[in-house]
Structures are given as structure tokens and as C-alpha cells.
Amino acid sequence: MDFPEENLLATADDREGFFITALGDLLKDGRYKVLRKLGRGRCSNTFLVEDLKSTSPSREYLAAKILSADATNALRRGVMDELGFLQTVKDTSTSGREPRLPILHDHFAQQGYHGVHYCFLTRPQALDVHAFRASAPTGKLAAYIVKRIMACVVEGLKVLHSLDIIHADMKADNVLCCGPSMAEIEETLKNEPVFIYGDFEVWGRQYPIFRSQPLQADFAWNTSPSDSERIAVVLSDFDSCLWADEPKPEIIAPFALRAPENIVRAECGKEIDIWAIGCMTYELLTGQFLLQPQPIDGLSIFQRLLLLQCCRTVVSAQRPHSEPNHGGCSIHRGLFATQSRGSDDC
């Protein structure tokens, strides 16, 4: 069976267990109707759904992020706390507009072929900023567009940090262009048919293999400077978030975006998000990834581990007497070559 995107037959024992569904299927006791697939991530797939019990005078569409069975198990064990982060953002949102962050509309558990899946429903957004950049013929964006995008990112990150939340996975893939209106979504549904690669059978029923079809933003890569002020983006994917005042895991963020203090296993805080913002800005402006760490030729594993331990000792010794050594990128360069970043670790 060929699955061009996520392997729908891989189970939670395989560290996967993605949700399987079909057009017209109903979620949460018949409230939400599945319309198409919007995208997928490392531990979830996302579908456009219609709220059949909405009190709105017009149709209301939502994005249903459905965790894999494995991720749902991690949520239950407390290994990840995405619901807690989303709920905190919702509870502290007092303005009528979304503060560059997703606002949770509903959440529930849904039984599926691979077990129980937890679902988060938010307002539908458009394609991610990495795909938006890639839509430009040169693969890079004008400085005035990058300036606007990064201003929105910083605004959202400022709110997160004020809530003592570290995003910990800041990259262009996890920033979404603000989505179209409900009327525009309805128009898209009328004019763009659902794309299906094929189908497969489980439980004696045929299920489609959906292709991701993200909604399109109402601005383009060549938006003029005068129109760039309407560009808006929203931070997404809170499955890697951390509480700033709680113990951190040793490994944080994809390796190529890992801040120097994390590379040497020093104490990490909200500053790691700022490092990642710098990497993202470089990517959008140049069309290239800033870093692709590579082991230095000639060093054994033992020598590399010893060097890391030495760096960690130096940073720890300096920490009580000064601010964190953010000039530590020289350590990063000394340990690893600086080339274009690949996608294997991100």
C-alpha cells in the first residue's frame, strides 16, 4: 500500500497511528463533518470540518487537528501538554481578534481505527510560511514582506512568553498565513474538488488516501509594499511547547535550529525562540536554510562528546557572573560545519 504522505496503517506501536477518516464522516457525536484534508505534521493530521450545530447564521468551518494515537498516549501520560498551552492562550485572550496565536474553539477525544485520538479545533488558517516562501520563483521573499511576517511572529511570541510558555519549535513550517473568511472557504469548496490519491480497506470499509490541500492566503509572494500591511500570520503547533518555569528536557527543537546553549546542554529559557527567529528570518530573506550541522571530519565520537562537555563546563562556570553567552555560536561553528540545512532532522 502506497501512502504518499503519512502511513495510515502504521500503528501507535510504530510511534504513529494517524487518524483514518472519509469525506462526510462525523466527529463528536455528529457535530463536525469532515470536508477535506488541510495538512499533516509529525504527530497529527488536520482536516477542514463544518460545525453542523453552529449558532452562526452562516456556515462555520473549523480546522480539526487530530493527534495520532501515539501522540494522544503522550498527552495522556503528560509527556506533552498541548491542550494546556492552548487552553492558557484561550483563557488569557481578551481581544476580539486572535493574538497571532490559535484560539481553541473545542477539544474532544475521538475513537478511531488505531485507538483514541485527541482533537483540537481552531479557526482554519492558510498555508505555512515555508510553503508561502517556496511559492516565490526565487524561493525568497522581499524584505518588506519578511518584515511584516516577522513582526507578526514576534507579536505572537511576546504573548506566549508573557504566559511563561516557550514555543521550542519556531520555524517557518509552524507559522501559518491567516486563513480566508468563511465565505471564501465556501467558495473554495465549490470550485476546488477534493484530491484523493487512491483508497484502501480497513474494517471492511474503503477509505480515501487524501492529499493535503491547505487553504490559500489572500496575499501573495509579490504583494506590493502598500498592500503588505494586510499580511498576517499565526503561530501554530504547540506540541513541543515548554513551561518556562519547569524543568526542560535535554533535547529541545530540531537540531539545525537548536540554540548554542542547548547544543552544549546549558540552561535554556525563552531565548531559544529568539535564536530560531533569527534562523527563520535568514531563510525567508535568502531562500536558504542557515545551518545544516555536520560532524567535523577526523573527530571520534569520544572526542566530540569530550568537547561538548568542556564547552558545557565553561558555560556553566561563566553563568553566575554574566548573562548567558549568546556569542556561543562560535562553539556551534566549531563543532559543526555551517551549510544549507536539510529537512531530515526538521
At 262 the pLDDT is 76
pLDDT at position 47 over 80: yes
Query: Distance between CA atoms of 200 and 302, rounded to whole angstroms?
Result: 48
Task: Kindly state the percentage of the chain with pLDDT values over 70.
Answer: 82
pLDDT at position 88 over 60: yes
Predicted confidence band of residue 323 (pLDDT cuts 50, 70, 90)? very low
Predicted confidence band of residue 117 (pLDDT cuts 50, 70, 90)? very high
Residue 128 DSSP code: B
Predicted confidence band of residue 250 (pLDDT cuts 50, 70, 90)? confident
Beta strand pairing call for 205-210 and 32-40: unpaired
At 278 the pLDDT is 94
At 256 the pLDDT is 75
- Out of 1.10.3470.10, 3.90.1150.10, 1.10.240.10, 1.10.510.10, the CATH code matching 126-179+216-346 is 1.10.510.10
pLDDT at position 303 over 70: no
Asked if residue 271 lies in contact with residue 251, where contact means CB atoms within 8 angstroms, the answer is: no
Range with lowest mean pLDDT among 79-83, 96-100, 168-172, 266-270? 96-100
Which residues, at least 6 apart from 59, have a Cβ–Cβ distance to it below 8 Å? 50, 182, 186
Query: Distance between CA atoms of 206 and 217, rounded to whole angstroms?
Result: 33
- Out of 3.10.290.10, 3.30.70.2190, 2.40.400.10, 3.30.200.20, the CATH code matching 1-124+181-214 is 3.30.200.20
Range with lowest mean pLDDT among 1-10, 74-83, 253-262? 253-262
pTM of structure = 0.82
Predicted confidence band of residue 154 (pLDDT cuts 50, 70, 90)? very high
How far, CA to CA in Å, does 331 sit from each of 207, 252, 325? 50, 17, 10
Predicted confidence band of residue 192 (pLDDT cuts 50, 70, 90)? very high
- As a whole number, mean pLDDT of residues 137-159 equals 96
| Amino acid identity for residue 3 in this structure | F
- As a whole number, mean pLDDT of residues 324-336 equals 38
Q: Which of 289, 290, 254 is nearest to 272 (CA)?
A: 254
- As a whole number, mean pLDDT of residues 63-83 equals 94
At 318 the pLDDT is 47
Which one is predicted more confidently, 267 or 299?
267
pLDDT at position 4 over 60: yes
At 335 the pLDDT is 36
Task: Kindly state the percentage of the chain with pLDDT values over 90.
Answer: 68
Residues of the chain with CATH 1.10.510.10: 126-179+216-346
Residues of the chain with CATH 3.30.200.20: 1-124+181-214
Which one is predicted more confidently, 295 or 212?
212
Element housing 122 (H / E) = strand 115-122
pLDDT at position 184 over 90: yes
At 314 the pLDDT is 53
Query: Distance between CA atoms of 303 and 323, rounded to whole angstroms?
Result: 28
pLDDT of 196-245, one tens digit each?
999 999 989 999 999 999 999 989 999 999 999 999 999 999 999 999 99
At 298 the pLDDT is 65
Mean pLDDT of the chain, nearest integer: 86
